[in-house]
């Protein structure tokens, strides 16, 4: 895979994505498709935290939600005649595409292990994925892409081989879905305002300097931020938004509060005080390179933190993040938050000490 000769970021990333000056990252060929460059372990910790808070397993719902969303997306991308052709000749091409995206976007290393596709009931395809950024997302996406191409309802199973290795065998088989989710509203469309961040960028490929300073290991599909030591990945917020909506529909009204709380706990465990105390400009850059929006106001004091994040997404997760950030900065054990996500895309948050 080719890299920028100046900064080393894969050309697949700089050609595929645009980091705008208003804190929004989008796909170049589909500017309505928003993306994030975010801590990859955030997803696993978020779901594990919600499971712990509500005491119920989530994985089957997360996988099914991602399957449905990915199938819809691929079906929109590839019209039916193209999918019919792909059914016969395209499985390897699809896996090749998934593997390339995975390595460039930090999803781990994906390989085809074996397959039997004879258009019978015992057809299957087995892939291996090593160090996935989020196993349930991978399972759902892999299944949704397979279904869009194959056309038949299928289910997924996985096994860690050997146990503890973070190397998984993931098999799709023909058969009914273990859960059927209720219909839900479409995930929110994001509203954007212009802003001028003036991000420092690589003069060759245009990737922001903070992103380009990360290490892309293209063999293993792992992106590491050397400043924080944390693993990063590129994924869309709307898929996560849809998963959170499905969890709320299936499991009830306690979910939004559990999302905020889980993200608060993750932030407290993960972020360091130095990362948050650089003032508005530093926090603004941190959020913008992640594609999380444009921090227009930031009043940070001992008693309260008040902020406005323009072009926001994932409001529950952001409120949890800001509560955790406030607690880290003030050394408090607890906080409360009042917040509003406005139709123009502004997320207004006020965190106070308890």
Q: What residues make contact with Zn ion under the rule CB under 5 A?
A: 4, 6-7, 202, 204-205
Nearest CB to Zn ion, comparing residues 153 and 200: 200
Euclidean distance between CA atoms 295 and 201, whole angstroms = 19
Whole-number Cα distances in Å, 129 to 37, 136, 163, 243: 21, 12, 14, 22
Tokens representing 196 are 């001028």
Least distance CB 202 / Zn ion (angstroms): 3
Euclidean distance between CA atoms 46 and 30, whole angstroms = 28
Least distance CB 146 / Zn ion (angstroms): 34
Least distance CB 25 / Zn ion (angstroms): 16
Nearest CB to Zn ion, comparing residues 17 and 98: 17
Nearest CB to Zn ion, comparing residues 7 and 316: 7
Least distance CB 2 / Zn ion (angstroms): 11
Nearest CB to Zn ion, comparing residues 10 and 144: 10
Least distance CB 215 / Zn ion (angstroms): 14
Tokens representing 300 are 């940070």
Nearest CB to Zn ion, comparing residues 7 and 325: 7
Least distance CB 33 / Zn ion (angstroms): 22
CA atoms within 13 A on the CB side of 69: 26
280-312 in b/e form (b: 16+ CB < 10 A) is: eeebbbbbbbbbbbbbbebebeeebbbbbbbbb
Count the residues in the chain: 354
Nearest CB to Zn ion, comparing residues 167 and 204: 204
* Phi, psi values for residue 255, rounded to 5°: -65, -50
Least distance CB 213 / Zn ion (angstroms): 11
Nearest CB to Zn ion, comparing residues 7 and 54: 7
Euclidean distance between CA atoms 236 and 341, whole angstroms = 19
Nearest CB to Zn ion, comparing residues 63 and 205: 205
108 three-state secondary structure:
coil
78-109 in b/e form (b: 16+ CB < 10 A) is: beeeebeebbeebbeebbeebbbbbbbbbbbb
Least distance CB 234 / Zn ion (angstroms): 16
Residues linked to residue 25 through DSSP beta bridges, in sequence order:
19, 35
Contacts of 281 (CB under 8 A, 6+ apart): none
Nearest CB to Zn ion, comparing residues 204 and 270: 204
Euclidean distance between CA atoms 9 and 173, whole angstroms = 36
Environment class of 279 (CB within 10 Å of its CB; exposed 0-12, middle 13-18, buried 19+): exposed
- In this structure, are residues 327 and 173 in contact, taking their beta carbons and an 8 Å threshold? no
Least distance CB 288 / Zn ion (angstroms): 18
């Amino acid at each position: 895979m080719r890299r920028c000769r100046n900064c080393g970021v894969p050309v697949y990333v700089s050609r595929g994505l645009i980091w705008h000056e208003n804190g929004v990252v989008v796909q170049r060929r589909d500017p309505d498709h928003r993306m994030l460059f975010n801590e990859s372990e955030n997803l696993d910790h978020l779901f594990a935290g919600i499971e712990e808070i509500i005491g119920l397993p989530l994985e089957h719902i997360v996988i099914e939600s991602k399957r449905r969303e990915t199938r819809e997306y691929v079906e929109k991308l590839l019209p039916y005649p193209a999918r019919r052709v792909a059914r016969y000749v395209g499985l390897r091409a699809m896996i090749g595409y998934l593997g390339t995206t995975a390595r460039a976007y930090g999803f781990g290393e994906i390989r085809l292990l074996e397959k039997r596709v004879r258009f019978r009931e015992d057809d299957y395809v087995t892939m291996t994925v090593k160090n996935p950024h989020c196993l349930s997302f991978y399972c759902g996406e892999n299944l949704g892409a397979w279904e869009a191409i194959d056309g038949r309802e299928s289910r997924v199973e996985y096994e860690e081989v050997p146990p503890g290795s973070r190397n998984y065998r993931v098999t799709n088989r023909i058969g009914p879905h273990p859960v059927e989710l209720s219909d839900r509203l479409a995930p929110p469309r994001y509203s954007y305002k212009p802003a001028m961040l003036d991000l420092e960028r690589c003069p060759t490929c245009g990737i922001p300097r903070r992103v380009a300073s990360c290490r892309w290991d293209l063999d293993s599909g792992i992106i590491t931020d050397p400043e924080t030591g944390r693993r990063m990945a590129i994924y869309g917020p709307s898929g996560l938004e849809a998963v959170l909506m499905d969890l709320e529909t299936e499991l009830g009204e306690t979910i939004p509060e559990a999302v905020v709380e889980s993200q608060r706990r993750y932030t407290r465990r993960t972020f360091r005080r130095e990362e948050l105390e650089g003032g508005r400009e530093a926090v603004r850059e941190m959020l913008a390179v992640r594609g999380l929006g444009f921090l227009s106001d930031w009043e940070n004091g001992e008693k309260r933190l008040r902020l406005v994040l323009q072009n926001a997404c994932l409001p529950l997760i952001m409120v949890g993040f800001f509560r955790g950030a406030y607690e880290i900065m003030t050394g408090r054990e607890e906080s409360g938050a009042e917040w509003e996500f406005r139709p123009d895309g502004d997320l207004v948050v006020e965190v106070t000490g308890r």
